[in-house]
Amino acid sequence: MSKNSKNRYSDKELENFRKIINLKIEKSKNDLDLIKSAYMNDSNNGTEDTSPTFKSVEEGSETMSKEANTQLALRQEKFIRDLKNALVGLKTKLMESVG
C-alpha cells in the first residue's frame, strides 16, 4: 500500500459514526443543562443569599464553584459545537459517496 493511498469509510460506517455523534450531542446537551442549572441556582428558592449575616468564606467558595461550573459549561458548549462540526463533515462525505 502506498503512502498516498486514502482509506475511505463505507456508507454504513459513516452512518454508524453519525448515530454515535448524535447520541453524544444529546448526552452533552443534558450535561450542559445540569451544569448551567448548578451555577444559575435555578433549583434553589431558599433565602440563603438574602441573609444579613456575613459569610465571606462561604460566599468565596460559592463564587469559585460558580466560576468552575461556568468554565465547565463553556467547555461543554465547545464540545457540542465540535460534534456538530463533525456531523457536517460526515454529511459531506455521505453526499460525496452518493454524488
Q: Where are the domains of the chain?
A: 11-42+56-98
Instruction: Look over the chain and give the mean of its residue pLDDT values, rounded to a whole number.
Output: 80
20 alpha carbon, distance to own chain's centre: 14
Q: Cβ contacts of residue 11 below 8 Å, gap of 6+?
A: 94, 97
At residue 3, the pLDDT reads: 60
Confidence of residue 1 (pLDDT cuts 50, 70, 90): very low
7 with 73: CB under 8 angstroms? no
Task: Tell me the per-residue pLDDT of 39-73, one tens digit each, with 9 for 90 and over.
Answer: 776 555 555 555 555 555 556 677 778 888 899 99
In the chain, what percentage of residues exceed pLDDT 90?
Answer: 40
